[in-house]
Structure 1
Amino acid sequence: MFGITMAESGGEFSPPGPNSFDFGAVPLFTVGEYAVTKPVVQLLLGALVVFVFFYAATRRASMVPGRMQFAGEAAYGMVRNSIARDIIGSHDYRKFVPYLVTLFFFLLVNNAFASIPLIQFPTFSRASMAYALAALSWVVYNAVGIRKHGFVGYLKLQSVPSGVTPLMYPLLVPLEFFSNILVRPVTLALRLFANMFAGHLLLILFSTGGLFLIEYGGIGYIAGPLAWVLAIAISFLELLVQFLQAYVFTLLNAMYISGPLADEH
């Protein structure tokens, strides 16, 4: 369930580590030599959950919304107003709302899998998943900038700081290019991955460590239950982190999109 790595060997505790995040192939989703792992299944499930929710919220839309329509409108409006419109601006934000809404709720559902019984694994605690999503974001916001300014114009916008004497260009241009073009997707993915990874690792540590302490006996009869109390507290903290990471990832996407667009106004 947690990817437990605790092993009692000579009375020693084997702490969890990166191998706790490795999963074998899911039998029902293995075709020949091609294997599908649990995180991949969760990505597909997350996309399905988001689609079903918004389809159910809009398929019988009316002037007087029911509970499902009201929930869908509130969820859509939160991203539309507090992220897309406020960050990108009222002139250009509408065309990016579907992307940002999908991105936010896809992230939120996959993060929330960490707290759902029988799943209990955050999809984006696997670095490859986080970097793939960041790569998609990189393509989107760079495509927006190139479309607005052209390839050369966009590179100039991102690499040549305004209000700086040309004598500083040899120093600042490579730094700006490295920061705005190359590093952004790395930091975008790393922030999401590291938070999901660390939170899940702490849950494994306190859960399995509490069990080990109780089995060890002695002071462990007191320390073990305390470790489980901490695991419960961290679980509630993770609920907040799951939402914040989805929000921050989407917010930064909106900021990156707004950069070249704001220059036009």
Structure 2
Amino acid sequence: MAGHPAVGPRPREIELNTADLSPTLHAEGDSLFHIPTLDEFFPEALLFAGTPFEFNRVQLVRLIMIAVVLIVLCIIASRAKLVPGRAQSIVELIIEFVHNGIIKNTLGLKDGMRFAPFLITLFVFLLTMNIAGVIPGLNLAGTSVIGLPLLAALWTFVVYVVAGVKKRGFAGYLKHETAPPGLPKPIYLLLVPIEFLQVVLIRWASLTIRLLANMVAGHIMMVVFIGLTHGLLFSASWLTVISPFAGALAIGIYGFEIFVAGLQAFIFTILAAVYIQMATADEH
């Protein structure tokens, strides 16, 4: 009788612990829902692991998209006709959109012709890399890792600085950008450092961060809703009933990401055109 109090609770204790742990083990084992993290954007190396030349899935996506676009454009250009076909019309529509919607409205005809090759190339390049995030099998934008947005931003920085220096000289360009005329002299003590910082750092940094943040956020949103739909559909519970609603949201996010891919290419390109116009305009 004395041993019963010590022995009695033990089976109940084991039973409670097993009940508490079983849902946890069930959830971990099934892997019905994968929560995306920033590790999605840093996949394992495919080649040259641990070296400065490491090659992973992100670089593979970029190379595939560049190769596809170059091959398609070369084929279309070699078969160009006076009366364009469907593929040629799409390419001409994109070029016309950039020329009329960005270059002509921002830089005008004279300066627009000078910088059209750069701006059209920039737009097509960014659109290509952005749209990779919604292509099945690739599922990752080439601009969702900082290297490519940073490269495009620094490319833009070099173009507008060189254009400004060519027109005014180095000192004249800095004066034009940092010290607009007509202000009280004490204001320049505050204004010049801020404007200088904006020219050499803030502009290209904001281009980089804006593009990167939108591509990362879009990818994570798609993964969340697609994974949630999968998890609900195969949950073997009443939650299966609401899986179509999650699927509809996933499709909506997918379509929205296509829109964002084009929008971010447009915003980046029009800001590049604005910075060029600011560097080369006769008036501040």
Category of TM-score, reference length = shorter chain = 0.7 to 0.9
Give 1:53 shift. 3.1
How far, CA to CA, are the matches of 2:160 and 2:62 in structure 1? 22
Q: 2:254 aligns with which of 235, 245, 248?
A: 235
Tell me what 1:48 maps to. Answer: 67
How far, CA to CA, are the matches of 1:61 and 1:20 in structure 2? 41
Aligned AA (1:80): H
How far, CA to CA, are the matches of 2:283 and 2:198 in structure 1? 22
TM-score (norm 2): 0.82
Q: What are the ranges of 5 or more consecutive residues in structure 1 without an aligned counterpart?
A: 1-6
How far, CA to CA, are the matches of 1:218 and 1:62 in structure 2? 59
Give 1:105 shift. 0.9
**Helix, strand or coil for the counterpart of 2:122?**
helix
TM-score (norm 1): 0.87
Tell me what 2:46 maps to. Answer: 26
How far, CA to CA, are the matches of 2:158 and 2:252 in structure 1? 38
How far, CA to CA, are the matches of 1:48 and 1:131 in structure 2? 21
How far, CA to CA, are the matches of 1:230 and 1:130 in structure 2? 28
Contact 2:80–2:88 (8 Å) recurs in 1: yes
Contact 2:165–2:173 (8 Å) recurs in 1: yes
TM-superposition CA deviations, 1:1-36 (whole Å, max 9, x none): xxxxxx942889662111122212235xx5995431
1:253 aligns with 2:272: yes
Contact 2:41–2:58 (8 Å) recurs in 1: no
**Helix, strand or coil for the counterpart of 1:91?**
helix
**Helix, strand or coil for the counterpart of 1:120?**
coil
**Helix, strand or coil for the counterpart of 2:55?**
coil
Tell me what 1:159 maps to. Answer: 178
Give 1:86 shift. 1.6
Instruction: Summarize the alignment of residues 105-254 of structure 1 with structure 2, pairs less than 5 Å apart.
Output: 105-254=124-273
Q: How many residues align?
A: 257
Question: RMSD across aligned C-alpha pairs, in angstroms?
Answer: 2.5
Give 1:85 shift. 1.8
Greater Cα shift, 143-152 or 38-47: 38-47
Give 1:101 shift. 1.1
Structure 1 residues 179 and 74, CA gap change in structure 2 (3 angstroms): same
Give the percent of matched residue pairs that are identical in Structure 1 and Structure 2: 35
Task: From the CA coordinates, give the structure whose radius of gyration is larger.
Answer: 2
Give 1:242 shift. 0.7
Aligned AA (2:59): V
Greater Cα shift, 229-238 or 44-53: 44-53
